[in-house]
Amino acid sequence: MSKAETLSNRTLDIRQKYHAGRHSHRTRPKSIILVLICAMNTAIVREGRPDDVPQVMALVRELALYEKAPHEVTNTEAMMLRDGFGEQPAFGLFVAELDGTIVGIALHYIRYSTWKGKMLYLEDIVVQEAQRGQGIGAQLFEACLKLCVQQNYAGMTWQVLDWNEPALNFYRKYQCNLDGEWVNGKLLLDQIQTMNLT
């Protein structure tokens, strides 16, 4: 008998035991529980590597599309390699990997608060749309929180769009402070270059 036939017969036997158990008011057989657990996919969260950058940039573009601003992405894979994995890394990166594919990222860096000292800034947390709702975002978020504890940072800050209810609800689960009082300021390089700076 082939391995496939053996597996098929075992699956049939498990199903028969399960249905028999349902009608006799017994609990679900342990073998069913084991099969279900083995079938579940679990993402592995790890630190990002240079060879992850193409998949990371794909997720960045997916986020920009979701936020209705795909034209705003001017970053490139070459820039990300230089800025994240060069001589003076400007950011850190956690990735969530599922079956060899990057399905989520959390990009972070250190900011300095004159009131609090060193804090972690979570620039972006992105999970591939097809993989949302499986706890991958929580794994990435909590990896950043653990980094705060390990490095003894004063805390972690981030931004979230006020219309992004799924994200707002996600952060509310952590009982975090969502402060709508601050107004964000920004000047891009092409704007600065037009100024008469002396």
How many CA within 13 A on the CB side of residue 184? Answer: 9
For residue 41, which amino acid is it?
N
From the list 18, 66, 121, 171, the catalytic residue is 171
Phi, psi (rounded to 5 degrees) for 101: -115, 135
Strand ranges in the chain using DSSP code E only, listed in sequence order = 44-47, 92-98, 101-113, 117-127, 156-158
Q: Which two tokens stand for residue 114?
A: 């004159």
From CA 195, how far away is CA 32, in angstroms rounded?
68
Q: Tell me how far the alpha carbon of residue 197 is from its chain's centroid.
A: 40
Structural tokens at position 6: 């053996």
Secondary structure class of 27 (helix, strand, coil): coil
171 noted as active-site residue: yes
Tokens 């794909």 belong to 58
Asked whether the beta carbons of 61 and 76 are under 8 A apart, the reply is no
3-class DSSP assignment, residue 168: helix
Catalytic residue numbers, as ranges: 171
